[in-house]
Structure 1
C-alpha cells in the first residue's frame, strides 16, 4: 500500500505540472492582456476541476449554505492544513485573488503565474505586508474578491485544530464593508498530510462554503468580533465533521 501511495504521489506531481502547462498560454494572456485579467478566476476554477479529475479526486463534495452573488465582492476565509487547499479553493467559481506566501514564487512557472495574477506577501517584512495590504485594497476596489488563509500558512500542529488567526484581511472587510465568507475544507490533511516526504492518498475533496458574515462596525472591536465569528463557524464545522468520521 505504501508503494502504491508513493506511485500515486509521483503521478499527482506530474498531473499538476501537465495540467498547468496546458493552461499556461491562457494564464499568460490573463497576465499580459489587461482586459483578460479577470478571466484568471475562471482559469483557476478550470485548473482545479481538471487537476482533481485526473487525480481521481473528482468526486468533490461542495456544499453552499447560501447562493453567492456574482456581483458581490467577498473575502473568502478558509482553514489551511494541506498543500491541496489552494486548488481546492479554486473549486469555488468566483472571481477572486489569492493572498499567499512569497515563497510560492519559487515554484517554477506556476510561481511566476501566481505572483502576477495574485497577491504574495513576505510576512517577515513590514514593508512587504504594507505593500500587499495596498494591493488587496486596490483589488477589492477594482471588483475582485479576495481569498486567504487566516492562519498565515500551514501552521497547525494537530489538524483539524486551527492555529491562531491573523487579522489582516478582516481589516479589509471592515474598511470596505464587504462580507467574509467562511470556508471549511474538511479532510485535505488526510489526503495530503503536511509531512515529509509528501505522500498523497485518494479520497474525496470536501468543503463547505458558509453564509457570508457582514461586518458590524468600523473600529478595532469590529475587526476582532468578525475574526472570532468566522473562526467559530469554521471551528464548529471541523468539530462536527471530525466527530462524524469524515
Structure 2
C-alpha cells in the first residue's frame, strides 16, 4: 500500500531525531516502519514480536516494551536514550497505545518518554501526522480499499537548551501540531478526510 508523504519538513537522513506520531490503528505500526528514510529504532509494545515475519524483524531490530512490567518500561526507556545518544533516531507513539475511543481525537496525557529522550540528547522532535489511517484500518482489523494513506512530516521542534522543566510545553506543542493537522482536514459532517 503506497503511502503519500507530505513534507512540511524533510528530515536530514544524516541527523538524529525523535519522531512521534498519533496512534489510532494497527496500520500505524507497519506504516511507521515504511515512512522514515532515517536509520531508526521503533519503540513499541512487546506483543508485536508475535506477528509472523514482521514480529521477528521487530524483535531483532527495535526496542520492545512490556507495558505491564515496570522494569521493562524502565529498561526500554534507557535503551531509547542510549539509542539516540549513539546517533540512531527513535520513533515513538506518545499516546502509549491505541487508547482513544474518539478518533481522530488524540488521547492525552502523552507519555513523557520520547520527550525526555529528545531533551536528554538535545535532538529535535519531528511530529508526524498519520492523517487517515484509522479510516483505512477500521475496528476488527477490516481494511477499506481505495483510500491512500497520508503521512505528514511537520516542522521539527528544537530541544536545544530545553530541560525537563520544558516537558509539558514540548508535549503541548506536539499535540497541537498533530491534532491541528487532523482537525484541519477532517470533515465533521461526512466524518471523513478531504
Question: Do the two structures share a fold, i.e. TM-score over 0.5?
Answer: yes
The runs of at least 4 aligned residues of structure 1 exceeding 2 Å deviation read 216-221, 243-246
1:74–1:179 CA contact under 8 A, matched in 2: yes
Paired position in structure 2 for 1:74: 17
What secondary structure does 2:87 align onto?
Answer: coil
Deviations 1:190-216 (A, max 9, x none): 1011x22x2111111111000100126
Aligned equivalents of 1:153 and 1:88: distance in 2? 15
Unmatched runs of 5 consecutive residues or more in structure 1: 1-51, 53-57
1:191–1:200 CA contact under 8 A, matched in 2: yes
Aligned equivalents of 2:132 and 2:80: distance in 1? 29
Aligned equivalents of 2:14 and 2:49: distance in 1? 30
Higher percent of residues as strand? 2
Of 124, 139, 159, the match for 1:179: 124
Of 32, 36, 43, the match for 1:92: 36
1:200 is the counterpart of 2:143? yes
CA RMSD, Structure 1 to Structure 2 (Å): 1.5
Aligned equivalents of 1:107 and 1:69: distance in 2? 31
Of stretches 114-123 and 64-73 in structure 1, the one that deviates more from structure 2 is 64-73
| Larger-Rg structure | 1
Unmatched runs of 5 consecutive residues or more in structure 2: none
Q: How does 1:13-92 map to 2 (within 5 A)?
A: 52=1, 58=2, 60-89=3-32, 90-92=34-36
Q: CA deviation at 1:177?
A: 0.4
The total of aligned residue pairs comes to 187
Deviations 1:152-183 (A, max 9, x none): 11111010000011111100101100000000
Aligned equivalents of 1:207 and 1:91: distance in 2? 8
1:180–1:214 CA contact under 8 A, matched in 2: yes
Aligned equivalents of 1:140 and 1:219: distance in 2? 16
The structure showing larger relative contact order (alpha-carbon pairs under 8 Å, at least 6 residues apart) is 2
Higher percent of residues as helix? 1
2:119–2:164 CA contact under 8 A, matched in 1: no
Q: How does 1:231-242 map to 2 (within 5 A)?
A: 231-242=175-186
Deviations 1:204-235 (A, max 9, x none): 11110001001264433211111110111001
Distance 1:87 1:106, change over 3 A: closer
Paired position in structure 2 for 1:245: 193
